[in-house]
Amino acid sequence: MSFHQRLKSVWETKNSLVCVGIDPELSRLPEHLLDHKEAYLDFGIGIVDACAPYVSAFKPQAAHFAAVGAEDQLAKLISYIQKSYPELPVILDAKRGDIGSTAALYAKEAFERYGADAVTVNPYLGHDSLAPYFEYSDQGVIVLCRTSNPGGNWIQGVRVGEEPLYLTVAQQVREWDLNDQCMLVTGATYPDELGQVRKTVGNMPLLVPGVGAQGGDVEAVLKAGVDSSGQGLCISSSRGILYAGSGRDFAEKAGEAAMKLRDEINRYR
């Protein structure tokens, strides 16, 4: 089954376009977890179990684990999600980008070491830097297009002829995607640009970070971004869900926030 088919299937069975970003930070963990030997893993498992009924994907973020040397906990968390919720794809948010021979090793890191279902990548080094990921033809390859941060426009908004560069990226990735495995990252904070990307790529699924803590507007994202079947989006929230509560009820609060986001999204589909 292609990665696109897999997403379509989970969007339908779960009736949810929500993706929960798992970005643990020591300074924001509930206090009772701080003396756990694997606090990030235990936090992640709590979040995953509480949110799983309401979401269609999880997106652990690599830097949060790497900054504190917790790669083992990241690997265990991914493995836990896949065993417990095999229908839910795990997107490793790593944003790697390197020349081909090194990209092959980053692809190995994502798809073999961690066994992720998809990985985010950076297009600045061109096609030969993405090709090694495409060889894992059942896995998702999610290319940065128009990111959610204000500074992103500096390069991404450069005019190429009549169009901004991010639309060139979108068009090109669509052409490169021979296995129905590619997605594009388009921030919720720029719904007009998101709409332009949607027009450019047909029904290619989009990963949309930036609702919640970053301030993206859900209604605007849905209006601009859904595909022809009212799906096509992985709308990702991290901090707004992870830290909805801060005590022993952190998981319960996160689950409620995920359910609320799912319902808000579904109102506009």
Residues of the shown chain interacting with its own copies in the complex, contacts defined by CB under 8 A: 23, 61, 63-64, 66-69, 71, 75, 95-100, 102-103, 105-106, 108-109, 112-113, 122-129, 144, 147-156, 158-160, 165, 168-169, 172
Please say whether the beta carbons of 77 and 58 come within 8 A.
Answer: no
**CA atoms lying within 13 Å on the CB side of residue 261:** 33
Residues ≥6 apart with Cβ < 8 Å to 151: none
For its own copies, give the closer residue by CB, 138 or 163: 163
CB of 122 to its own copies, least distance (A): 5
For its own copies, give the closer residue by CB, 244 or 259: 244
CB of 214 to its own copies, least distance (A): 8
Known catalytic residues?
Answer: 95
DSSP state letter for 238: S
For its own copies, give the closer residue by CB, 10 or 110: 110
The rounded distance, in Å, linking the Cα atoms of 161 and 49 is 48
DSSP state letter for 211: B
CB of 10 to its own copies, least distance (A): 25
Specify the long-range contacts of residues 194-197, CB closer than 8 Å, at least 24 apart.
Answer: 194/146, 194/221, 194/224, 194/225, 195/223, 195/224, 195/225, 196/164, 196/167, 197/145, 197/146, 197/166, 197/167, 197/170
CB of 130 to its own copies, least distance (A): 8
Helix (H, G, I), strand (E, B) or coil at 251: helix
For its own copies, give the closer residue by CB, 19 or 144: 144
Please say whether the beta carbons of 230 and 13 come within 8 A.
Answer: no
Quote the tokens at residue 258.
């995920």
Quote the tokens at residue 109.
């890191």
For its own copies, give the closer residue by CB, 12 or 72: 72
The rounded distance, in Å, linking the Cα atoms of 245 and 63 is 23
Give the angle 66-35-70 at the CA atoms, nearest 5°: 15
CB of 81 to its own copies, least distance (A): 19
Tell the residue number behind the tokens 């992103």, with chain if given: 152
For its own copies, give the closer residue by CB, 13 or 149: 149
CB of 155 to its own copies, least distance (A): 5
